[in-house]
Structure 1
Amino acid sequence: MKKRNIILLALCALLIIVPFVISKEAPFEGADAEAEELITEINKDYEPWFESLWEPPSGEVESFLFAFQAAAGAGFIGYFVGKKKYDKGNKSAC
């Protein structure tokens, strides 16, 4: 089992590292920036419907908030699934 875990961790690391190695000069932007660029290229007169209520002070803060949101969601889902599985297991033992 331990060997399997090491192999899975190595594969995860490769999935993270390989894109940076393959395309060193590529701009790693989010989909929002690319979509905005494409829209203005298609329609020069396009105006956004609204502006953000709050603009993060830097890209690092924005990335942190995005990662925190993803981690909180994953934690909630993991807790919920684990709790359901645990509760189900205990009911059959009673």
Structure 2
Amino acid sequence: MSTNSKTKNKLRNKNLILLALTIILIITPLLLNSSAEYGGADGEAEGLITEINPDYKPWFSSLYEPPSGEIESLLFSTQAAIGAGFIGYYLGRKKGEKK
């Protein structure tokens, strides 16, 4: 077995271990806290503001209100994926320029 082949195997094993750890980190909170309701910071902030000042009236309303929570989650995750894509592209481009 050549040195290049050993290096590729080590890298592959390292990547598989990192993938397994990532999956464990994602699934563990879901298993440990199965009865919890997951919500965003917006809902928490709205509840706290209403508690502090019950007469508060928002000064701005959304331009588009999704018809369901699932659509809202889809739009949010799409936005996050696009942002992550741009950041990954930028970092990869900068690393490529250094080489």
Q: Distance in 1 between matches of 2:56 and 2:27?
A: 37
TM-score by length of 2: 0.79
Say which SS state the counterpart of residue 78 (structure 1) adopts. Answer: helix
- Aligned position for 1:11: 21
For 1:1-94, list aligned pairs within 5 A: 1-89=11-99
How far did 1:62 drift?
1.1
- Aligned position for 2:5: none
Task: Count residues in correspondence.
Answer: 89
RMSD over aligned CA atoms reads: 1.4
Say which SS state the counterpart of residue 83 (structure 1) adopts. Answer: helix
Structure 1 stretches lacking a partner, 5+ long: 90-94
How far did 1:85 drift?
2.3
Kindly report structure 1 stretches of 4+ aligned residues shifted beyond 3 Å.
Answer: none
How far did 1:69 drift?
1.0
How far did 1:18 drift?
1.3
Say which SS state the counterpart of residue 17 (structure 2) adopts. Answer: helix
Share of identical aligned residues, percent?
Answer: 61
Structure 2 stretches lacking a partner, 5+ long: 1-10
